[in-house]
Amino acid sequence: MSKNFINATIFTFLVLGFFAYVCVYVTRISGTSEGEVVAGVNPEAGEKIYWGEGQCGTCHSIGTTGSAIRGPNQENLAVKAEERAKERGLTSGLEYLVESIVDPNVYLVEGYDKIMPKVFEPPILLGREKILAVLSYLQTLGGEADIGGIMQFKDKIPEASKKKIIPWVPPIEVDPKKGEKVFFDETREAACSKCHIVNGKGSRVGPELTGIGAVQTPKYIIESILKPSETIVKGFETMYLITTDGMFYNGILKSQSDEEVVLSVDVEGEIVEYGFYPDEIVEMQKQNVSMMPGNFSDTLTTRELYGIVSYLLSLK
């Protein structure tokens, strides 16, 4: 057996073992509750949680408040929720909102992928009462809060466990500082910082990763690195562009106006920006393959992978 084969086998084993661990871990902490209070269920409390510990603002903006684009803008959400409820045969907009939180993957807003986390699980870990408060705030976005109606869904909202939270234990412990080094090591062809910004350092080809550890699980982060095309963050889809002189380009749309379309293109590991006049573009289309390299299981060692993962998890 070749050394590579053995390495790949060990790698796969570690990753699978890790997923099994996550399953057990998540099941253990999302148990049921014992007795809850109603006191904090109001839109004011919900608004604070939305922009604070709920981390919703890392992915959602509301009108011109906030700048996040990972998730849909939630201006007039209550109105949209009514429409989506009708479309899907649910009884009310509120039922739709509850479903969006309890099981975010059941229905995906068009154009978006499965990146909305279950906010009652780690790392966000909102308790039931806080989720109810957030729901009342969501109702005020284009509508009115109906606390009585919300309380009827109380039992549908899982309670974040009051039991001791077991911290994530990676299969191999690697100092996040080591991961940070690999992340920013631009001598490597696939340096993460060629495409990602953390705390102001790096380039904005893919989404900024500052704060990613506060909203995503180890499982999501590992999958994003090993299987980037599985979920694609909205706004960072790869575009396929053909020009009138028969050239074609793959890249991320950096900017688009009446005068110019700019693509960030990966040319053998160097990110280059190309500008196009609109009248020289024959075709431009979104693809469902990520521009992020799909071969990190070959180009990173297992230690490097877990170093990067623990670094990203430390970004809160």
Binding site for ligand HEC (CB under 6 A): 54-56, 58-60, 70-72, 80, 84, 97, 100, 104, 108-109, 112, 115-117, 119, 134, 138, 190, 192, 194-196, 205-207, 209, 212, 215, 221, 224-225, 228, 231-233, 236, 252, 266, 290-293, 296, 308
User: Nearest 10 degrees: CA dihedral of 227, 268, 299, 205?
Assistant: -50
Nearer to ligand HEC, 231 or 256 (CB): 231
CB of 140 to ligand HEC, least distance (A): 12
Q: Which amino acid is at 311?
A: Y
CB of 133 to ligand HEC, least distance (A): 10
Nearer to ligand HEC, 46 or 278 (CB): 46
Nearer to ligand HEC, 60 or 128 (CB): 60
CB of 21 to ligand HEC, least distance (A): 19
CB of 63 to ligand HEC, least distance (A): 13
Nearer to ligand HEC, 54 or 122 (CB): 54
CA atoms of 316 and 314, how far apart (whole Å): 6
Tokens matching residue 188 = 């490597």
Q: 116: which residues sit within 8 A by CB, 6+ positions away?
A: 59, 71, 100, 104, 105
Cα separations in angstroms, 179 against 148, 210, 309: 49, 15, 7
CB of 124 to ligand HEC, least distance (A): 7
CA atoms of 301 and 8, how far apart (whole Å): 10
CA atoms of 117 and 98, how far apart (whole Å): 14
Which residue shows structure tokens 């990067």?
Answer: 308
